[in-house]
Chain A
Amino acid sequence: MATMRKKTQVSFVIRDEEERRHKNGVSSLQLDPIQGRLYSAGRDGIIRVWHTGGGTQDRYIQSMEHHTDWVNDIVLCCGGKNLISASSDTTVKVWNAPKGFCMSTLRTHKDYVRTLAYAKDKEQVASAGLDRAIFLWDVNTLTALTASNNTVTTSSLVGNKESIYSLAMNPPGTILVSGSTEKVLRVWDPRNCSRLMKLKGHADNVKALVVSRDGSQCVSGSSDGTIKLWSLSQQRCVSTIRVHSEAVWALLATENFTHIISGGRDRLVIITELRDPDNFMIVCEETAPILKLCFTADQQSVWVATSDSDIRCWKLPPLNSLHSDMYNQNNYNTNNVYQTQPQHHIAGGRAIKHYTVLNGKRHILTKDTANNVVLYDVLKACKVEDLGEVDYEEEVKKRFKMIYVPNWFNVDLKTGMLTIHLGQDETDCFSAWVSAKEAGLTTEMDQKVNFGALLLQALLEHWSHPNRVNEGGQKVIGNNFFNVPLHTPLIFSEVGGRTLYRLQVGDAGGETESNLLMETVPSWVVDVAIEMAAPKLNKLPFYLLPHSSCQSKQDRQKKDRLVANDFIQCRKVAEHVVEKIVGGGDVNGASAGKNSEDSVNDSPEERVELLCCDQVLDPNMDLRTVRHFIWKSSVEFTLHYRVLKQ
């Protein structure tokens, strides 16, 4: 199994223990009218639950965390008992909605799961995405899944030729419609999985769909900017509504299918009468493209989710007022909107949009959507300092140090939070050896530590692995220097692909977690994090020559090819020169090796100086830094030495 599997990538997220605000856009909304709760699916990978009741200052209830990528769609089912979510981590998850924990994960999709549809009367959910497949799920079966009873049969609807971006079912579950980049609507009967028809008419991707209760009508919103009303019984487009100036991404139909509320890239929420599209009104203008619309319990207002992290509630105009000439005289005159102030506002947080990995390959400077600059420590998986609204470029410049450390991780900002992907194999992940003293981990001289190894040891220190014993029979835990926050999400995934397992660092001690880790963690990680094997050192070959200004008496003109650890300092090379080349021949004759340190009080760097490209080197500079900043090439790295004192 291990040999056939793709490479496993270890990742983690640097974040606060509780993230009470959406850190990125909000893709989907669901209302529980009975409990008065609003569920919102975030592109930060977190589903959050909010009080909708008026007067509450802090609406936040809880977070539902288990996805590792954008949550693209959610459906609340079983009268609010369960929630189904679809994510770009390619999974569909089943949640206990009131308690907020993940009950099971469905991994049938092979690409981003983009959309869900729900047939309320049958408790049936359909999922679809960029892998072109549509799966039908019986919610009652899904919620009954346990660790032992974990097989589920699903029917799939095949025939889509391109990526699916939208789905809709009617409550009785007699009609299912899908929208895709194919620009056609495909209609199925989910009861027998038969294809019913294909509706052509849109000129671009179809990203929003609604089906009427009886399944006779359907409304579609497309990236071509139009909304189309289709008669499924007549298999034709009844009318084309052109109220938006850009792509239509969200649709919401009123109870009796008389009006359609739409939103999209032009940031406007517009309500239109389906029978007479001339009767429409701009409800409000949002601050970002609209991703989802959801009625309040009384259907007098809509909750609006956008690609910003805020969620706002806007009052709808009375349906019979649309024909009044007050608001709809000019389509795009946004001064003419019905509401300029939202009824409610759930404030969002800030997404990190820019980052710079500082030269030491340990700290990251970030800038978010509000131009806030924050410094993070990757090694300890925590925030170091909030610098506020300062000049980001200036801060980056200020922190420049002339040191070179190899890359050992990558940064990913897709969720708006810092996700760190460690190097994909032992050579990448363990490439950064540094002095423990310089890393501020110890005061001892000469101790070298490996960033990747230290971090893996800290991330997995709670895993009760049986091999975690040293020669003395004692349990070895962690890296003896530091810990990472217990809430840190730790993610194992296929390289560039699907998530295999996600857990929090502090939960690794549990029995189930330990067993799952045994299956998931690649052996090169176990070797270093559990069995405490030291990663390999990086060797750097170089040539050592006397400088042209230094007349060597001996025949030392031929190139000396040496190999050293890439982190050793020039001081060490100077020592080598003193001991093996200069000292050995000139000062103490044959007994040089033994007595050189006693007989000479001067430190080696005072006796010999090193040069690279005719530049005198700081004895504290390490070889890889010299090669990166001074030699500036990866081949034929050459150093020269010059004797100062005999």
Chain B
Amino acid sequence: MPVNSLLENKKGVEKPKLSLSLNRNNASNLRKENKPASLKIFIWPDSKNNKENKPAKRSLKDTYNNTLQAAKKLKPLTDVPKVQECELVVEVPLGNFAMLNGHHPSDNQYGGSAQWKAPIATLSNLGNTCFLNSVLYTLRYAPQFVHNLHHLVSDLSRVEQKLGSIRLKSSSLGRSAAGLAASGTRSWSSKDLLSLGQADTSATKSKIQIATEKLHETYLSLRVAESKCLHSGADAAPEPYAADSFLAALREVNSTFEGNRQQDAHELLVCILDSIRETCRALSARALRLQLQENGDSNGIGRQPTLVDGDGGKTLGNFRKSWKKRKEVKVNEKRNSPSEERPPSPDPEKDERARPGWDFVADDFEGTMVVRTMCLECEAVTEKAQAVCELCVPVSDEDATDESFRSACLSSEYLRDQNKYWCERCLRYNEARRSVAYSRLPRLLVLQLKRFSGGMEKITRHAPTPLLMPCFCEPCARRAPDQEPAHKYILWAVIMHLGQTLTGGHYVAYARDSSQADTKCEREGGGDASAANSGSSFMRTLFNRPRPSPAGCTANECCVPRPRPEACWLACDDDLVKPISNEEFEDLLSAEPKMRSAATPYLLFYVKSEVG
């Protein structure tokens, strides 16, 4: 939040130097950074004993492993080489999706040496970068996020390659015709042309786009680290990765993140999402240009690209608008028949998702807020809709219930006394009722707890974090009380803040690593041959090449986290990432903060799930 960002940082930056109790199982995690002499001891909770809620017993081997891992960290950090992995050796069988609530029989699978079969890459702290790491971890495990990012980045590079080659072609053409006439004396060597083309591409590559690419690179490196570790066969955790190149790119985009200060994780999240959205737009514009040029080439010079179904001639703005309209219609249809299944034949949404430059941030993170004001005299309602990315929820004073987020988001207030409403129909000030509702909630719902609103002091009060939340979008809310809502929201990540101020303290992310290999990719493979065949469209032939490999989406081999044997919660605290059991996680959430500096949930991440 911009308000938060205004908080001046104290001079002499506070290092995240704290001791905290992660849960009631006495799994303590003592960290003292930048003191090379101190030995770091990490005590892993033994999940075998969790059900009995007893203090953890440590096996010798565990201790050994952790000490080993800790010792490794003292080594100087080296850049992880960015090698593509050549093949996938072991497909780890996927465990069934563990439900969040309650006991799971395979909890005992963690611990022991088994966990090294599914190594988890970690991020090192570059000096007060836990805000960055917590967001990077969260997005890494965000359902389909890395997958979508992968396609964005690969589409982008493909389009750029194409555009680059076209530019070369057209500039040589220009030389033979117009170029000779205008500046006949000057001769251009092919080297000149080449450098010209390159300069052009790098010039159009905005800082924002670079940041997006670096983000993808970061996830790629994490994946490589995991694979390497697996292949090496050694009982070692992957070396922590330093996301410094992404941080540098980020600082280019937004100078707020310069300097070694603690930052608001929420603000970073907003910045990352905005960058991706901008990149999507840029790609969409470039793809359109490419499409026009390709058509111009094949149809001969001077002919209008008539084959590109109407969108072609329009400007970018129109293009996007028409797409929005299409989406809007879609939403309406959906609203009319929320339970009805979509027709199996041509799916415009799928088409849309496959479009290069599809703004998945808008689709995944944006909801539509509707503010309605009713004059109490004429009872006419004026309505305003706007896109919202994350919902802010106050930490309520009363004993909050599971419904508290819903009631905090769906507010209704009266405009009265000295604050009456100017009614344009009555032409006077009248009392009015103003209500806020959501006509659409995003697939990935982000809730920001307003812990830093008002003064500088953090509100540490406990607010329950439901693992499962009924949907409160309008179509759901309007259903009869006996009817279940059409969808629900499942918690998949929490970013906790420790400490008293936003400018200080520490961030830890808890993310659910539900294997993403089952992600259905609309773009490639997945047996979706009909879409590939039916597409005579240029876009499809361009972007589905190379032909879908039977293995599925290329993202699965590239940057998405390695599939783990089974879904579980990961506690991600900079270079320490460890799986924790559902019980541990729930204990963590239900704990009433005792100290002012205690860890409190700050950002909550939910994923939408259709009921039934």
Footprint of B on A, CB under 8 Å?
70, 88, 111, 130, 162-163, 165, 181, 205, 223, 246-247, 265, 289, 307, 353, 412-414
* Contact present for B428 and A307 (CB under 8 Å): no
7 nearest A-B residue pairs (beta carbon) = A414-B428, A413-B427, A414-B427, A247-B379, A163-B431, A265-B379, A223-B379
Closest to B424 in A: A353
**Given A181-B431, A414-B428, A111–B378 Cβ distance below 8 Å?**
no
Instruction: List 9 extra interface pairs beyond A181-B414, A412-B427, A412-B428, CB under 8 A.
Output: A88-B428, A111-B417, A162-B414, A163-B416, A181-B376, A223-B376, A246-B379, A307-B378, A414-B427
Chain A positions within 8 Å of B71 at CB level? none
A307 to B433, CA, bound (A): 20
CA A230 to CA B280, docked complex, whole Å: 60
Residue contacts A-B, CB under 8 angstroms, 27 given: A70-B428, A88-B428, A111-B417, A130-B416, A130-B417, A130-B431, A163-B376, A163-B414, A163-B431, A165-B376, A181-B376, A181-B414, A181-B431, A205-B376, A223-B376, A223-B379, A247-B379, A265-B379, A289-B378, A307-B378, A353-B427, A412-B427, A412-B428, A413-B427, A414-B426, A414-B427, A414-B428
How far does the Cβ of A287 sit from chain B's closest Cβ, in whole Å?
15
A413 to B376, CA, bound (A): 18
Q: Bound complex: CA of A111 vs CA of B379, how far in Å? A: 19
CB distance from B555 to the nearest CB of A (A): 49
Q: How far is the CA of A139 from the CA of B416 in the complex (A)?
A: 30
B414 nearest CB neighbor, chain A only: A181
Q: Which residues of A contact B426 (CB under 8 A)?
A: 414
Report how far A572 CA is from B379 CA in the complex, Å: 56
> Which residues of chain B (374-421) have a CB below 8 Å from chain A?
376, 378-379, 414, 416-417
Q: Which residue of B lies closest to A27 (CB)?
A: B377
* Residues in A neighbouring B431, C-beta threshold 8 A: 130, 163, 181
- Closest residue of chain B to A223, judged by CB? B379
**CA separation between A413 and B427, bound complex, in Å?**
6
| Chain A residue, CB-CB nearest to B426 | A414
Min Cβ gap B411→A in Å is 16
Residues of A near B379 (CB, < 8 A) are 223, 246-247, 265
Give the residues in chain B near A307, CB-CB below 8 Å: 378
CB-based nearest A residue for B380: A265
Bound CA span A371–B426, Å: 17
How big is the B interface, by class?
A: 10 to 19
Q: Residues of B with Cβ closer than 8 Å to A?
A: 376, 378-379, 414, 416-417, 426-428, 431, 433
Residue among A246, A265, A413, A414 with max Cβ neighbours from chain B (10 Å): A414
Chain A residue numbers with a CB within 8 Å of B414 are 162-163, 181
Assembled-state Cα–Cα distance A88/B416 (Å): 13
Q: List chain A residues, Cβ under 8 A from B427.
A: 353, 412-414
CB distance from A624 to the nearest CB of B (A): 29
CA distance A412 to B427 in the complex (A): 8
Chain B hits for A70, CB < 8 A? 428
Residues of chain A contacted by B428 (CB below 8 angstroms): 70, 88, 412, 414
- Determine how close the nearest CB of chain A comes to the CB of B350; give it in whole angstroms: 40
Residues of B near A181 (CB, < 8 A) are 376, 414, 431, 433
Residues of B within 8 A of A162 (CB): 414
| Chain B neighbourhood of A353, CB < 8 A | 427
Q: Which B residues touch A205, using CB under 8 A? A: 376
Query: Please, how many angstroms separate the alpha-carbon atoms of A265 and B377 in the complex?
Result: 11
Distance in Å: Cβ of B377 to nearest Cβ of chain A: 9
Nearest chain A CB to B487's CB is how many angstroms away?
A: 25
Q: Which of B378, B414, B427 has the most CB of A within 10 A?
A: B427
Task: Give the complex CA separation of A163 and B419 in angstroms.
Answer: 13
Give the CA-CA distance A181 to B376 in the complex, in Å: 9
For the complex formed, measure the closest distance between the CB of A245 and the CB atoms of chain B, giving whole angstroms.
13
Chain A residue at smallest Cβ distance from B418: A496
Could you tell me the distance in whole angstroms from the C-beta of B437 to the nearest C-beta in chain A? 16
* Closest-CB distance, B421 to chain A (whole angstroms): 12
Instruction: List the A side residues contacting B433 at CB < 8 Å.
Output: 181
Q: How far is the CB of B372 from chain A (nearest CB, A)?
A: 13
CA gap between A292 and B379 in the complex, in Å: 16
Q: Which residues of B contact A247 (CB under 8 A)?
A: 379
Q: In whole Å, how far is A351's beta carbon from the nearest beta carbon of chain B?
A: 9
A111 and B376 alpha carbons, distance in the complex (Å): 15
* A223 cross-chain contacts in B, Cβ below 8 A: 376, 379
Q: How far is the CA of A247 from the CA of B377 in the complex (A)?
A: 11
A205 to B428, CA, bound (A): 20
Once bound together, how far apart are the Cα atoms of A163 and B426, in whole Å?
Answer: 18
Give the CA-CA distance A307 to B417 in the complex, in Å. 24
A246 to B433: give the CA distance in the assembly, Å: 17
- Report B315 CB to chain A, min CB distance, Å: 30
A247 to B378, CA, bound (A): 10
- Cα A265 to Cα B428 with chains together (Å): 19
Q: How far is the CA of A265 from the CA of B378 in the complex (A)?
A: 8
* Closest partner residue, chain B, to A205 (CB atom): B376
Q: Considering the chains assembled together, what is the distance between the CA atoms of A414 and B426 in angstroms?
A: 7
Tell me the bound Cα distance from A180 to B195 in angstroms. 76
When distances are taken between beta carbons in the complex, the residues of chain A under 8 Å from B376 are 163, 165, 181, 205, 223
Q: How far is the CB of A419 from chain B (nearest CB, A)?
A: 10
Complex: how many Å from CA A29 to CA B431?
23
Cα A600 to Cα B376 in complex, Å, equals: 71
- A446 CA to B449 CA, complexed, in Å: 67
Minimum CB–CB distance from B202 to chain A (whole Å) comes to 41
Assembled-state Cα–Cα distance A181/B416 (Å): 11
Bound CA–CA A137/B159 (angstroms): 81
Residues of chain B with a CB closer than 8 A to A111's CB: 417
List residues of chain B with CB within 8 A of the CB of A414: 426-428
How far, in angstroms, from A223 to B427 measured CA to CA in the complex?
A: 21
In the complex, A20 Cα to B376 Cα: how many Å?
29
Q: How far is the CA of A363 from the CA of B416 in the complex (A)?
A: 34
Which residues of the other chain, A, contact B378 by a CB distance below 8 angstroms?
289, 307
A363, B431: Cα distance in complex, Å = 32
In the complex, what residue of chain B is closest to A165 when comparing beta carbons?
A: B376
A264 to B, closest residue via Cβ:
B379
**Residues of chain B within 8 A of A413, CB atoms compared:** 427
Expressed in whole angstroms, the Cα–Cα distance for A205 and B430 within the complex equals 14
Nearest A residue (CB) for B427 = A413
Rounded to whole angstroms, the CA-CA distance of A414 and B427 in the bound complex is 5
Complex alpha-carbon distance, A162 and B426, angstroms: 22
Give A602 to B500 CA distance when docked, in angstroms.
79
CB distance from A329 to the nearest CB of B (A): 27
CA distance A163 to B431 in the complex (A): 9
Chain B residues in 8 Å Cβ range of A165: 376
User: B418 to nearest A CB, angstroms?
Assistant: 8
Closest to A355 in B: B427
Residues of B close to A265: CB separation below 8 A? 379
CB neighbours of B416 from chain A (8 A): 130, 163
Cα of A412 to Cα of B416 in the assembled complex, Å: 20
CA distance A412 to B429 in the complex (A): 11
Who on chain B is nearest to A69 by CB? B428
Q: Bound state CA distance, A70 and B377, in angstroms?
A: 12
Nearest A-chain residue to B428, judged by Cβ: A414
Kindly state the separation between the CA atoms of A223 and B378 in the bound complex, as whole angstroms: 11
Q: How far is the CA of A163 from the CA of B414 in the complex (A)?
A: 10
**Complexed CA–CA distance, A223 and B380 (Å):** 11
The CA of A130 and the CA of B428, in the complex, are separated in Å by 15
What's the Cα separation between A163 and B379 when bound, in Å? Answer: 15
Instruction: Report the Cα distance A412→B422, complex, angstroms.
Output: 12
> Contacts of A88 on B, CB cut-off 8 Å?
428
What is the CA–CA distance of A223 and B428 in the complex, to the nearest angstrom?
20
Chain B, residue nearest A246 (CB): B379
Output the least CB separation between B380 and chain A (Å).
9
**Most B-side CB within 10 Å, residue of A130, A353, A412:** A130
A353 to B425, CA, bound (A): 9
Complex: A64 Cα to B510 Cα, angstroms? 72
Complex Cα distance, B425 from A413, in Å, reads 11
| B417 CB contacts on chain A under 8 angstroms | 111, 130
Chain B: minimal CB distance from A627 (Å):
30
Q: How far is the CA of A289 from the CA of B425 in the complex (A)?
A: 13
User: How distant is the Cα of A503 from the Cα of B416 in the complex, in angstroms?
Assistant: 29
